[in-house]
Amino acid sequence: MRRRVLLAAPIAAPLLSPLLAAAPARAQPAGVTLEEFQVASAPGIQLYLRNKRQEGAAAARADRIVLCVHDGSFPASTSFDLPAGGVSWMDYMAGRGFDVWSVDLRNYGRSTREAAMSQATAPASGTPLTPARDALADIAAAAAFVREKRGVPKLVHLGWGWGAGLMARFATENAALVDRLVLYAPEWPAQPAAAANGAAPAPAAGATLPPFRSLTRAEVRARWVEGVPDNKRAALFPAGWYEHWADTTFGADPDGARQVPSVLRVPNGAMAEAGRQPFDAARVTVPALVTLGEWDREAPPAQAVALFQAMTASPAKRLVLLGEGTHGIMLERNRGALFQAVQVFLEEALTG
């Protein structure tokens, strides 16, 4: 375990998006504590967890402890905790009194990479790495660690893209361990033709996939802006934001970073299971928020509406469509709209 303390002055409004700057006037904390952990999952698998909370904060309640899980392409640590414009999403939640955690699933980010990912290039075929069953085991291990460390019976589960489906499935199978559920850009069901933010199109029926794939920065950038109107693409990211994210994310894969051009190696388990219904929406029995950007091609708005309508057992559910954002809106100019929409749900006194 490693522990660091980040001392942060209050964030100046010009660094934030207009919506983020318009949030209730609660200043960022004078200090935010960062702790880093390696948590065992399966034999030989160590998961990388990050935690952000206010320095000196009292023990948080279960409904103020959030565990974040990433999508099928990029690790949580470089997305949820990327300080673009001076503040990350984890900082934003921590600044409002939340105890926020993220986990990189196996073969992502700073968690263990299995031996099959040690090759410079993937073999033509093989078993796709990090299928849902392994990812769910990692989520269970991470959540159990957080619950035990904080002495609480349950947590808020927040998932992005493929990770949203995983978190929802965990909630259907472990409702007593989940306080509420945030589904950010959930894939329901994934459409084979969709491709966004580095996620290549799903394979044809019967096709075999290698254990992992390699993405270049150019490929990721090109796919990220698919579906964005031509006259809006230049303004999608403030200057330097995409480059900062790419440097951080690709740097989390040191073997891929040594290649020319540099690549990010991504396990293919999520892609191999694309097109399947990731969970039984009717079995979601906890409060749930579904939110996404209007330009999301990997999880289009029509899918979000279908999912929302299918969650018939959720006692309190919300659907929020955010303007001018893609599957990765949390890293774009309009991320403040996402932060606020989720924060309202997290702080709402839900009944149902």
Provide φ and ψ at 23, rounded to 5°. Answer: -65, 160
pTM: 0.87
pLDDT in the model for residue 7: 32
In this structure, the number of other CB atoms found within 10 A of the CB of residue 248 comes to 18
The amino acid sitting at 231 is N
pLDDT in the model for residue 174: 98
pLDDT < 50 positions in the chain: 1-29, 190-196, 198-200, 204-206, 352
pLDDT in the model for residue 191: 45
CA dihedral 6, 249, 301, 299 (to 10 degrees): -130
Sheet holding 288-293, edge to edge: 2-7, 31-40, 46-54, 99-104, 65-69, 155-160, 178-184, 288-293, 317-322
Produce one character per residue of 325-342: b if its CB has 16 or more CB atoms within 10 Å, e if not.
bbbbbbbbbbbbbbbbbb
pLDDT digits 0-9 by tens, 289-312:
999 999 999 999 999 999 999 999
Give yes or no for a contact between 264 and 214, defined as CB atoms under 8 angstroms apart. yes
The maximal CA–CA distance of the chain, rounded, in angstroms, is 55
Rounded-to-integer distance, Cα 96 and Cα 105, Å: 26
